[in-house]
Amino acid sequence: MRFGSVPLAEAEGGVLAHSVALPGTRLRKGRVISAEDIAALTAAGHDALVVARLDPGDVGEDAAAAQLAAALVPDPGAAGLRIGRATTGRVNLHAAQIGVLEVDAARIDAVNAVHPMITVATVRQWQSLPEKGMAATIKIISYAVPGDALAEACAEAGGAMRLHPLRHRSAQLIETVIGNEPPPPKGRRSIRNRLTRMGAELGPAVTVPHETAPLAAAIAASEAEVILILTGSATSDLHDTAPEALRAAGGTVRHFGMPVDPGNLLFFGQLGEKPVIGLPGCARSPALNGADWVLERILCGVEVTPRDVMGMGVGGLLKEPPSRPRPREG
């Protein structure tokens, strides 16, 4: 592609690089200059124009963006994504429904390494998205790119992303209390809001004493697809009350602790095929915390392994909640 100022007589067929105001109208950038445009520009006193002229083998910005989008998402229905219309060298990808986005970062990096004018930007790995939420944007920066570079980028793209939709539509929150005081309502309210945002429902409230036996009985009796536990006293060991109650109910504890703050004191496991999450106390707050990253994936049927959790440390230092009782720095 050649870019620069040319005499007006040579501008026909070029792509207008910058918008030009004319009496009663405006020629917008990206427009392919026609003979009629040249006549209007001449009448307005222009004698030169900055244009981009495609070389043989170049692909225009909109066609290039559309081709790359199709390579990234070859089967939109199966990937749970919608491909938008190409305009000004950009195509946006949106979620077809609520879910979490899986991104092959190596493929995205490979696409972006092909040519500086060919770019793809996505949300972070496993980002939760509402229906119609933007998952990625493809932008061809220049007015055209070499066809061979586009072909290479498309070959690298290889279906690099897909949305995992909601799989578990019901969850139950079991809260434990110490003494006779009921649990503060903000915890249940925050959990309900999280579930509603993901398209899931919160079952009836269940409150039991902060003891192994009654908590185990409540876990075993739950009919929800996902069990959430929020204890009146923080879980501080793999053999504390809540993990032991899950074992006593016949379940297993897969992992305790995560390198995300707030969220360190999370544990998770399962009861049969049913996921069980022991929530950290910060889950009572509506603010983002480590429990969100685990809960959202599990609701969408994505397996979370101990290795996954232990890999959350980079980027895991989240905003300090205003209500934090013991700040990181004393």
Query: Percent of the chain at pLDDT above 70?
Result: 97
- Per-residue H/E/C for 210-233: CCHHHHHHHHHHCCCCEEEEECCC
| Residue 158 CB neighbour total at 10 angstroms | 13
Tell me the pLDDT tens digit for each residue of 270-304.
999 999 999 999 999 999 999 999 999 999 999 99
Tell me the pLDDT tens digit for each residue of 229-262.
999 999 999 999 999 999 999 999 999 999 999 9
pLDDT at 324: 56
**CA proximity to 130, closest of 103, 104, 93, 96:** 96
**Would you say the C-alpha torsion 175, 180, 184, 189 has a positive or negative sign?**
positive
Reported confidence tier of residue 327, pLDDT bands at 50, 70, 90: low
Reported confidence tier of residue 48, pLDDT bands at 50, 70, 90: very high
Determine which of 6-15, 140-149, 213-222, 295-304 has the lowest per-residue pLDDT on average. Answer: 6-15
The average pLDDT across 113-138 equals: 98
Alpha carbon 312 to its chain's center: 15
Return d(Cα 217, Cα 228) in angstroms, integer: 14
**What domains are defined for the chain?**
9-53 (no CATH), 58-165 (3.90.1170.30), 170-310 (3.40.980.10)
Which residues, at least 6 apart from 126, have a Cβ–Cβ distance to it below 8 Å? 100, 101, 102, 293, 296, 297, 302
Mean pLDDT, the chain, as a whole number? 95
pLDDT at 1: 86
Total-model pTM: 0.90
pLDDT at 317 over 90: yes
